[in-house]
Structure 1
Amino acid sequence: MNAAMRIMNVRMGAVTLLTMTLLITLMGALGVVWMRQQITRSADKIKYYEMELQEIDRKKAFVDTRIAKAHSPENLIQRIGNRLVAPKSRQVVWVNETFRGDSNVLEQDLPTAPSKAVAKLDQVLIDAVKARAKEVGLGTIH
């Protein structure tokens, strides 16, 4: 009986080993299928986010174009039209403080009252805007 028990134990061991091998193989195959599904889901998410990013880029380009058009001199002149006038003295605020430019040039005090140069510059700018308005056909600006 001892020999029969050994044969039975060997057969049981072989069956157990075969069963465990099949079980591990099956679990590995299921793991591979699960990983492929996860890869597919991740790829789908990436594709979705890339499409969203393209849509956002398209909308941003559209808005940037609208902003550039709104800030163009021709559009500003057209919108302002005849209402463009020099600022009144009460609309200008003069600050008395020290200003240091970029690259540490000389310090200079800002003027406390409008000078003739500032008034002349204002007039030159107003004349340039009026000339440009006349050029684009908006008529005379007062």
Structure 2
Amino acid sequence: MTSNTVEPSLQPIKILIMGIKALDLPKTGHPKKMRRFYVMLTVDGKVKKTQIAAKGSTPVWQDTFEFEAFTLSMLELKVYAHRTLFADDYVGDMRDTIGTLAGAEGGVVKRVLAVKDTKHPLQASVELTFNSPAAIQPGE
């Protein structure tokens, strides 16, 4: 006899990212100066963007983002420094599965940003606040 149940990792869930905080972001551009930053979030090809934050090395975004994804789906977060006259500067990124991030104790995840510029190691990090694991709802 076969069962019609689907493994939990194969059922989409609704996940809310309810806040993002970046720590120790660098001065960028030429001349090097403090910029206004924003974040691009991507899950399963769906891209969402925060507002551009006020100048500072520790921006906080209170934006709420909802994604419908699988526990094995990858969240990619990229931080950019906004520039008015030139292309925005890529600062760093982090990636992890939705299941790992959403399962964090207290719903807060801290990650160090990876950066491609190895000449200037980046010590910046991000904090993501998720809805509690108990509040994760299977997708419709």
TM-score normalized with structure 1 length: 0.19
With a CA cutoff of 8 Å and minimum separation of 6, indicate the structure with the bigger relative contact order: 2
Task: Return the structure number with greater helix share.
Answer: 1
Q: Counting strand residues as a fraction of each chain, which structure ranks higher?
A: 2
Pick the structure with greater CA Rg: 1
